[in-house]
Amino acid sequence: MLETLLWIIRRDVTIAMRRRTDIFTTLIFFVIVVSLFPLGIGPELETLRLIAPGVVWVGALLASMLALEQLFSADHRDGTLEQMLLTPQPLSLLVIGKVIAHWLITGLPLVIMAPLLGIQYDMPGESLRVMIYALLLGTPTLSLLGAIGAALTLGLRSGGVLVALLVLPLYIPVLIFGAGAVEATASGLGGQAHLSMLGAILLLALLATPLATAAALRVSTD
């Protein structure tokens, strides 16, 4: 099973590296969204520090959602997904592999880029560190939850719009605790409680979403 999981991850990452435009589109979108706020609001440092956590997290959320439609659609079009449904390995394992690959392609670059963008808002070093931890816990959850929406809308017209309507309510707790961890750290209260909640949500998503996504894929391909 581990060999199959690694094969799925390596395959999806290799395909994505051949289409670097998709990776750069997500990253550039994130950079543009986060960078426009300081230009529009002005140079007041107190205001920028106050809105920084929410802006970064909203940008990461939207950028992650931008690539969800492509999570299963390419495999669905060329028949690969049907072959995966026939393999002896559990479909939920294959889903986990594709979600990990999706996070490596879209989520990890956002985590790497976020501290550089946070400097625009004059965020202190401790807040930047907590933001990295929060994004490392939160962005995989966004990919896991988004996989359910991508599977449910597979093959439908305007699938991207439907994915947004389905997954945005599920993203709200991650957004609240992710931004709250940075805000609590900046105010001196400490963000450990928020990070613990993000870890609990990630663990729950790891246990539940692969099964839900696998069931949705079976329904969508019937």
| pLDDT tens for each residue of 45-97 | 788 888 888 888 888 888 888 878 777 777 777 777 777 777 778 888 888 98
3-state helix vs strand vs coil in the chain, percent to 5: 85, 0, 15
Helix or strand or coil: residue 88? coil
Please check the confidence at residue 16 and state whether its pLDDT lies above 70.
yes
Task: Evaluate whether 32 touches 124 at the Cβ level (below 8 Å).
Answer: no
95 is in which domain, residue-wise? 2-221
**For residue 63, what are the CA distances in angstroms to 30, 31, 113?**
6, 9, 12
Please check the confidence at residue 208 and state whether its pLDDT lies above 80.
yes
154 or 142: whose pLDDT is higher? 142
Say which amino acid occupies 166.
L
Mean pLDDT of the chain: 84
- pLDDT at residue 160, as a whole number: 65
In this structure, what token pair is assigned to residue 100? 């990990």
Please check the confidence at residue 143 and state whether its pLDDT lies above 70.
yes
Q: Which of 202, 198, 218 has the alpha carbon at shortest distance from 94?
A: 218
Please give the share of the chain, as a percent, with pLDDT higher than 90: 16
Please check the confidence at residue 211 and state whether its pLDDT lies above 80.
yes
Q: pLDDT category, 198, cuts 50, 70, 90?
A: very high
In this structure, what token pair is assigned to residue 46? 């107190």
Long-range contacts of 18-24 (CB under 8 A, 24+ apart): 22/67, 22/70, 22/105, 23/105, 23/106, 23/109
* Minimum mean pLDDT range among 1-10, 68-77, 171-180, 202-211: 68-77
pLDDT (tens digit per residue) in 98-109: 899 889 888 888
- pLDDT at residue 70, as a whole number: 75
- pLDDT at residue 136, as a whole number: 93
Instruction: State how many domains the chain has.
Output: 1
